[in-house]
Structure 1
């Protein structure tokens, strides 16, 4: 699996803005070195910074100038291996939610098609420290994106003003999470995001005033 050409935003709080100016070539070599080891079946627990440095052809200090440790590095590797986070059109709450859910659908398809990625996610969940880092720096910002879209929908009058945004965000993304990650037998066809969003929004829009 090839990594994205541009490195994702660092996982650590504020990013590792320390040391000498970064080289994109060096960073890409490190990310690809980790992915190479994962593709060879090396368990996450056995991926030491020393082994990663040896595979990437760099020194350990080069890695530590860019990442504070394995958790931060692994987050960036996984984000680089996944489809990039989408750019929202901003035209309506419906359009934005469709884009968010379709990105989840694409990640679900990747998880199904790549046994290596499937195994990596399973190993991450068995490592509380690593999963907490991924949850805080990758999943949480994606959830925040949904909150922001729904809040904009409220402010624009596209949604009822009596809604619990936290609950609604779960209701919107829940069906796609179930389909993409909890039911490997379920279909993930194109148009599924639109179907989910339109079904949910039908009950969330302001009610017409009655005479």
Structure 2
């Protein structure tokens, strides 16, 4: 039995989105802090939906024809992700007495949180390659009404994933009642971010 374009889009979209990356690490951390979760989830979902729609509309061919744009985005993304990683490692190495102190507190307002979410969404060239180029090229093979259904499936997968990660993280809160757990999480996030920055430059 052949799968529908919607299911194929949801499956490929989920396989690309679930991979560990800067967005997922940030959404998880905000979810654990229960800080600006609707804002962060909304930005990530809206960004993915926008880029998936651009890919389905054929924007991927334009990106492939502008290598300088990919290069510029790569350098900007690598710099921001490296800074985010170093900040996470600094928190991991800083002694703290409570879980919330180890988490960095709730002092980050909506403005800084929004800027970070936007940067991690749109300054990562992998996001464009995955959503606009890859998903767009696969959607183009569906033809007819298949391409929009494929894109809708990928968008639904993105919405389900980021919503589950952001709003479901609170159930892991008991595990992060101790400062050591937050320091280990921030250390892991920092290493993932630095590795991602290195892979972008490589």
TM-score over 0.5 (shorter chain): no
Q: What is the TM-score normalised by the length of structure 2?
A: 0.31
Larger relative contact order, structure 1 or 2 (CA cutoff 8 Å, min sep 6): 2
Higher helix share: 2
Q: What is the TM-score normalised by the length of structure 1?
A: 0.30
